[in-house]
C-alpha cells in the first residue's frame, strides 16, 4: 500500500478550518490542525516538527482522514472484555438472603458476596471490584459495624438521662 503524503479526501481548506473552529474536542482539533497543515502543502515531517509530535502520528491520522473523512478522526469505541460471569445470576442472588445459599448472615457484605461468586459461579473477582459490580447492578452492600465492648448495653442511655435529671 502506497503511503499518502497529501489530503485526498474531497474537502477544501476553508471547510477544514471551519470544522476545526467548531470542534469542541481538543484531540480532534489537534488532528484537524495536522490535516490543515498537510492540505496547505507542508510535508508530514515538517507538520510533526511544528506540532511537537511524531511523523508516524501525522501519517496515521492523514491515512485515516483520507479513507473516512472528518468522522475518521474520532477515536473508535473499544468494546472491552466480555463479562466473565452472567450479571443476572449475581442480581438474582442479591435479591435473596445469603442464608438461602448457606451463609450464616442476613445481609450481603463484600466478603460474603465475594465468597458466593467464587464458590457458586467459579469466578474470583478482586474484593474492590465487588463494590463497583454491585453498584453497576443497582444495589449497595452493608458494612458490618463492630460494637464497642466498653459501651454499656441496653438502657444505659436512659439510666444516664434519669441520673442527670435528678442531679
Per-domain boundaries in the chain:
13-73, 87-136
Q: Quick one: pLDDT at residue 163?
A: 58
Q: Quick one: pLDDT at residue 106?
A: 87
Q: Quick one: pLDDT at residue 107?
A: 87
The 10 Å CB-count burial string (b at 16+, else e) for 131-157 is: eebbeeeeeebeeeeeeeeeeeeeeee
Q: Quick one: pLDDT at residue 52?
A: 95
C-beta of residue 32 within 8 angstroms of C-beta of residue 23: yes
CB atoms within 10 A of CB 31: 25
Q: Quick one: pLDDT at residue 37?
A: 96
| Cα separation, 24 vs 125, whole angstroms | 38
CA distances from 68 to 7, 11, 107, 160 (A): 11, 12, 54, 78
Q: Which residue has the cell 473477582?
A: 125
CA distances from 14 to 31, 35, 40, 71, 155 (A): 16, 12, 11, 17, 81
CB atoms within 10 A of CB 13: 12
Closest CA to 7 of 26, 46, 45, 34: 34
CA distances from 88 to 93, 109, 117, 138 (A): 9, 18, 12, 12
Residue-wise pLDDT tens for the chain (167 aa)? 456 688 999 999 999 999 999 999 999 999 999 999 999 999 999 999 999 999 999 999 999 999 999 999 998 777 777 778 888 999 999 999 999 999 998 888 888 999 999 999 999 989 888 888 888 888 887 666 666 666 656 565 665 566 556 65
Amino acid at each position: 500500500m502506497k503511503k499518502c503524503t497529501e489530503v485526498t479526501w474531497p474537502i477544501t481548506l476553508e471547510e477544514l478550518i471551519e470544522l476545526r473552529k467548531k470542534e469542541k474536542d481538543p484531540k480532534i482539533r489537534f488532528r484537524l490542525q495536522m490535516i490543515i497543515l498537510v492540505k496547505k502543502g507542508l510535508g508530514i515531517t515538517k507538520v510533526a516538527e511544528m506540532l511537537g509530535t511524531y511523523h508516524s502520528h501525522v501519517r496515521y491520522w492523514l491515512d485515516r482522514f483520507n479513507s473516512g473523512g472528518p468522522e475518521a478522526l474520532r477515536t473508535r469505541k473499544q468494546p472491552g472484555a466480555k463479562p466473565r460471569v452472567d450479571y443476572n445470576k449475581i442480581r438474582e442472588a442479591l435479591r435473596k438472603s445469603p442464608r438461602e445459599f448457606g451463609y450464616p448472615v442476613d445481609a450481603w457484605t463484600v466478603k460474603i458476596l465475594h465468597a458466593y461468586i467464587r464458590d457458586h459461579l467459579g469466578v474470583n473477582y478482586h474484593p474492590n471490584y465487588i463494590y463497583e459490580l454491585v453498584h453497576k447492578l443497582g444495589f449497595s452492600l452493608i458494612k458490618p459495624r463492630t460494637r464497642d465492648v466498653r459501651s454499656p448495653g441496653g438502657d444505659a442511655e436512659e439510666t444516664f438521662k434519669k441520673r442527670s435529671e435528678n442531679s
